[in-house]
Amino acid sequence: MIKESTLHISFMAVRQTMRRVISRIVPPREVEDIVQETYVRICQVENKEAIKQPRSFLLKTAKNLAIDHLKRADIRLVDTVDNMAEFEHLVSADDAIYQQVATDKEFAQFCEAIRQLPIQCRKAFVLKKVYGYSQKEIAKKLAISESTVEKHIGLGVKRCTYFMMQLTKEERTETMKNSKKTHQVRRDL
């Protein structure tokens, strides 16, 4: 059995752990919002006495909220590489994503995409793509398996590609809106 004050104390005690759990699921800018939403949800629980393990309850609630956030955002990310040929195409030097980052604006957007990667994934991705480390070197440097390095790089490429494609899509939509406004003004004249 648990009182509201005990639940609050438990929340404050697991807050950092909760952030780490959530940061593995959603982009960094969303983490604090989900932590706050978790607190709001626990405050709304009617039968607090039924919570026997507050730490587990809080972490599970936070994880479920993060997963719900991804579902609402309609983001479907694949964490594994199913087809090695597809993987090689995605990480090849002539990949379209790297050709798109030619301008300063696109480069800044690409940097933002990298900043949104989970920490371990970001490290592996940057070591491979920026510094040219081999998977074996990255595995040794980060103390993880080569298989995990491969998955991190694949995930990094997919997330960055998705991020850049979303920006391109938004820019096209914005251009079309501006074009319609221009045509509207010309008709009025």
Q: What is the pLDDT along the chain (189 residues), one digit of tens a residue?
A: 455 577 778 888 888 888 888 888 888 888 888 888 888 888 888 888 888 888 888 888 888 888 888 777 644 444 444 555 555 555 554 455 544 444 567 777 888 889 999 999 999 998 988 888 899 999 999 999 999 999 999 999 899 888 888 887 776 566 455 545 544 544 444
Q: How far apart are CA 179 and CA 173, in angstroms?
A: 10
Alpha helices of 4-145 — where are they, by DSSP H? 4-23, 28-44, 54-72, 84-91, 96-100, 104-115, 119-129, 135-142
The answer to whether the CB of 110 falls within 8 A of the CB of 160 is: yes
The pLDDT score that the predictor gives to residue 88 is 56
The pLDDT score that the predictor gives to residue 189 is 45
The pLDDT score that the predictor gives to residue 141 is 92
Q: How far apart are CA 75 and CA 69, in angstroms?
A: 9
Q: How far apart are CA 189 and CA 185, in angstroms?
A: 6
The pLDDT score that the predictor gives to residue 165 is 85
Three-state SS for 3? coil
The answer to whether the CB of 141 falls within 8 A of the CB of 133 is: yes
Predicted TM-score (pTM) of this structure: 0.40
Complete domains list, the chain, with CATH: 4-72 (1.10.1740.10), 84-188 (1.10.10.10)
> Per residue in 41-73, is it b (16+ CB within 10 Å) or e — as a string?
ebeeeeebeebeebeebbbebbbebbeebeeee
The pLDDT score that the predictor gives to residue 136 is 93
- Quote the tokens at residue 125: 């991705």
The pLDDT score that the predictor gives to residue 79 is 42
- Measured over the CA atoms of residue 29, residue 147, residue 134 and residue 83, the dihedral's sign is negative
The pLDDT score that the predictor gives to residue 139 is 94
The answer to whether the CB of 89 falls within 8 A of the CB of 95 is: yes
Pseudo-torsion of CA 12, 17, 19, 25, nearest 10°? -140
CA-closest candidate to residue 109, choices 123, 97, 93:
97
